[in-house]
Structure 1
Amino acid sequence: MAPTAHHRPLNSSAQVTAAVHHELDQGASATLDQSNDDNLAVVTVWFKHDKPTPIEISAMKLKMQVTHGGNLCMDLCSAFIRLYQQLDAKMNTNPSGQRWRHFFPPQFALIAPVELAGGTWSCYIWDMEKRQMHILDPVLQQRVTYNVSAKHHRTATMIHAGLLTCINKFFGGWDINPNEWMFSYYTGISPRSKSRNSGFYTLYYSREFHDGKLQRSLDSGSITALRKDLLYQHLTMEGNYAELPSHIARYLE
């Protein structure tokens, strides 16, 4: 097992990503599925990250949630949001440091990805310029708007009011009336998701949603690719000081 405490940039990201996808299909799941490795997989850590708070995720949890199509849990969603924050920071060229969008980790109430009581995920997005709140529920796509509104209106209203109360209190010069906002419930943004995929649909929405639509269309193949992309980027993101398995580490410089 090769240590990769300090991950360096990849020479050819597209080729390396494709190669790692192949290895994940052929190697990672097979390795973790070997019965005599079950105990090792449970304790082997593939992700350690301590800023702003410690997150540690085992190989088994990654396997069950990502490569085997399981439900997304809170700690892994938080790790993916950190990845999104990191990717956006690298792309930001504004010398003032200001950004248009901000990802909030789901341990806080002021969030984009929301885990509901039933164990499914949805995406709440606030457009501060247009004063519009977007509610995207993967498991209620291709249904009537009333279904989405009935499920989310109370929760969305409470989170919305709390968010704007905090903004008005802690940021000088802001005085936003929560009653002046429009709530938009989307029912045709994508195919309907199964409950177990709702977390990854939500992550897809959070990256691809802009101005009332997805920048790239979503289908079942998109989610399969997203799971692989997120796993690869997650394991190789800056700040992960866990030791990665050799079939992944060998693709790093």
Structure 2
Amino acid sequence: MFFLPVPLEDGWIALMWDMMERKLHVLHPLIKGDGPSEPTKDKLELVAWKLHHALFDCLNEYYAGWPTQDGQWVTKYPVLAEEHFSRDEIGACVLHICRHYDGVNLKIPLTKYNAGKTKRQALHECVKLQGNSSKLAHEALWTVLAPTDSCLSDT
């Protein structure tokens, strides 16, 4: 499986290629019920297939000899969430989807709480990266230890 988070003007989606089954999963946290509406589906398919062909151009260029075929793929639009998310929450939802989608369903359900937890975990992982010399890590630590002395306490 190969995941790609994709920014759109109205939020984020993730594309997942299941190379063994030849299925392209369009993972959008706002898809409900029977799938996306026709105008939304048309827009998502345009983006998905453009990126699909670009991915296979790269695979064929840089991994010569690897058996790749970009034709005869099936597109799937799985329903991943029951809750409604705002545009500001969709980025964390897509990160949660990329971490927990197994090709059939989510190992951990997509809820507002779980998406927020994933967002906090990702921030923690970025802050503790080896060699991180940004002031953000230092200021975030002081915000936790001494909130009244931190310059982040105003934001």
What is the alpha-carbon distance in structure 1 between the residues aligned to residue 115 and residue 144 of structure 2? 24
Give distance in 1, aligned partners of 2:129 and 2:143: 13
Matches of 1:134 and 1:193 in 2, distance apart?
20
Counterparts of 1:95-106 in structure 2 under 5 Å? none
Q: CA deviation at 1:209?
A: 0.6
| Structure-to-structure mapping, 1:161-172, within 5 angstroms | 161-172=53-64
The residue number in structure 1 matching 2:16 is 125
Separation (CA, whole Å) in 2 of partners of 1:249 and 1:225: 17
CA separation in 1, counterparts of 2:84 and 2:22?
27
Q: Tell me if the contact between 2:16 and 2:26 (Cα under 8 Å) persists in the aligned partners.
A: yes
For residues 210 and 176 of structure 1, the distance between their equivalents in structure 2, rounded to whole angstroms, comes to 22
Partner Cα separation in structure 2 for residue 136 and residue 203 of structure 1 = 11
Give the alignment's TM-score, normalised by structure 1: 0.50
- Rounded Cα–Cα distance in structure 2 between residues aligned with 1:143 and 1:196: 22
Query: In 2 relative to 1, CA 249–241 (structure 1 residues): closer, same or farther, beyond 3 Å?
Result: farther
Where does residue 144 of structure 1 map in the other structure?
34
**How far does the alpha carbon of each residue in 1:162-219 deviate from its partner, in whole angstroms, 9 at most, with x for none?**
1112211221212422122111112x21133211111110111110111211111121
Kindly indicate whether the alpha-carbon contact (under 8 Å) linking 1:125 and 1:134 is maintained by their aligned counterparts in 2. Answer: yes
Aligned-residue offset at 1:239? 2.7
What count of residue pairs does the alignment treat as equivalent? 139
SS of structure 1 residue aligned to 2:25: strand
Decide whether the 8 Å contact of 1:142 with 1:192 is kept in 2.
Answer: no
Letter in 2 for 1:221: Y
Partner of 2:113: 221
RMSD: 2.1
Provide the residue aligned with 1:193 in structure 2.
85
Measure the CA separation in 1 of the matches of 2:131 and 2:17. 29
> Corresponding residue for 2:49?
157
* Distance (whole Å) between structure 1 residues aligned to residue 42 and residue 49 of structure 2: 12
Q: Which residue of 2 aligns with 1:247?
A: 142
How big is the shift at 1:136?
A: 0.8
Output the CA distance in 1 between the equivalents of 2:36 and 2:10. 21
What residue in structure 1 maps to residue 97 of structure 2?
Answer: 205
Which of 72, 78, 88 in structure 2 is aligned with 1:180? 72
Deviations 1:216-240 (A, max 9, x none): 1121111222222222222112231
